[in-house]
Amino acid sequence: MRKIDAVKAERSKPMRVLVLGISRTGTSSICQALSRFGYRTFHMDKNIENPKLFPLWEEAVRAKFNGEGKPYSKAEFDKLLGDFDALSDLPAALFGPELIEAYPDAKVILTYRDAEKWVDSMQSTIWLAHSWWTFDLLTPFNSLIRGWRSGDTLDWDAFINSSPDKPSIHPKRRDYQSKEYRELGIKRFNEHNAYIRSIVPKERLLEFQSQDGWTPLCEFLGEEVPDEPYPRVNDKVELVKMAAMVWWIGVGSALLQTVAPVGVAVGAGWLARRYGWL
């Protein structure tokens, strides 16, 4: 039995917006913008809030990119995304064709930016955090780190080793800071954007950059332009701080599960000897 088959959730609201741009193209900012109009958006941070979702997305990635089990389609995505009427970021953006087919009435937004600036941002934030090998030492002690480390690295394995017509996560490449990884990342980024443009009818697609602001987004969604600046969240500094916070959570968990039991045992032994219990 697949993990998703044990999930009993159903769709509670129609899916209205698919944001299919890759991470670090303003996906967090557009989530906040959509919330201004009442959308509930599934983003990577929902996995972090609920690490139990990571194995489900891992199962979906392995089915699509490795042929391990039955691929996810509308029935499975309804279980995963049933309480959301919008989505953005990885891992969802890896499933552009499947989501477009599953939700034909949903509007599609392709967030994008200059490819060189995108890869600069990746290598100084997400890929930088994934290059911290000490995370691997902490995974046994904390479910959040375990889920993120396994799930998000798998997402990038799938993205970097695939082209739209050849999904695969083999061979694994995790030399995140290398020149070769950078060049391959730019190639995949451009291929992804071109592919989304090719499969979505123009009247259903908005190509969007954060600097475009509210006006084109509101025209596309049929909303009034808010009297406030367009959101800007998850800049480089914030993301690195967030990764560091997760790292310290792992360190705390490791200390509680290793040092604390030793301390209790030593203290108990001292008390036993002090009061003659032994």
Question: What distance, in Å, lies between the first and last C-alpha atoms of the chain?
Answer: 52
Helix segments in 139-177, DSSP class H: 143-160
Q: How far apart are CA 28 and CA 24, in angstroms?
A: 8
Mutual angle of helices 179-199 and 115-123, in 10-degree steps: 130
Mapping DSSP onto H, E and C, the string for 213-248 reads: CHHHHHHHHCCCCCCCCCCCCCCHHHHHHHHHHHHH
Strand order in the sheet with 86-87: 41-42, 86-87, 17-19, 107-111, 205-208
The answer to whether residue 70 is domain-embedded is yes
**Total domains in the fold of the chain:** 1
Q: How far apart are CA 202 and CA 64, in angstroms?
A: 26
Amino acid found at 177: Q
pTM: 0.85
The answer to whether residue 263 is domain-embedded is yes
Amino acid found at 232: R
Q: How far apart are CA 131 and CA 176, in angstroms?
A: 6
Query: Per DSSP, which regions of the chain are E strands?
Result: 17-19, 41-42, 86-87, 107-111, 205-208
The answer to whether residue 274 is domain-embedded is no
The answer to whether residue 25 is domain-embedded is yes
Give the residue from 144, 127, 138 showing the smallest Cα distance to 54. 144
Other residues' Cβ atoms within 10 Å of the Cβ of residue 245: 10
CATH code where residue 71 lies: 3.40.50.300
3-class state of residue 47 by DSSP:
helix
The answer to whether residue 273 is domain-embedded is no
Dihedral angle sign, alpha carbons of residues 92, 95, 101, 105: positive
**Residues 26, 209 contacting (CB under 8 angstroms):** yes
Could you report the average pLDDT of every consecutive run of 10 residues in the chain (278 residues)?
94 97 95 97 89 93 95 97 96 97 97 97 89 71 73 92 88 91 97 97 96 98 97 68 58 60 45 53
Give the residue from 254, 249, 211, 204 showing the smallest Cα distance to 229. 211
Please name the residue that has the structure tokens 């992804």: 192
3-class state of residue 166 by DSSP:
strand
How high is the pLDDT of residue 268? 42
The answer to whether residue 162 is domain-embedded is yes
The full length of the chain comes to 278
Backbone angles phi, psi at 108, to 5 degrees: -115, 130
Residues whose CB is less than 8 angstroms from the CB of residue 8 and which lie 6 or more positions away in sequence, other chains included: 79
The answer to whether residue 214 is domain-embedded is yes
Tell me the residue range of the domain where 170 lies.
3-268
Q: How far apart are CA 33 and CA 229, in angstroms?
A: 10
How high is the pLDDT of residue 237? 57
The answer to whether residue 102 is domain-embedded is yes
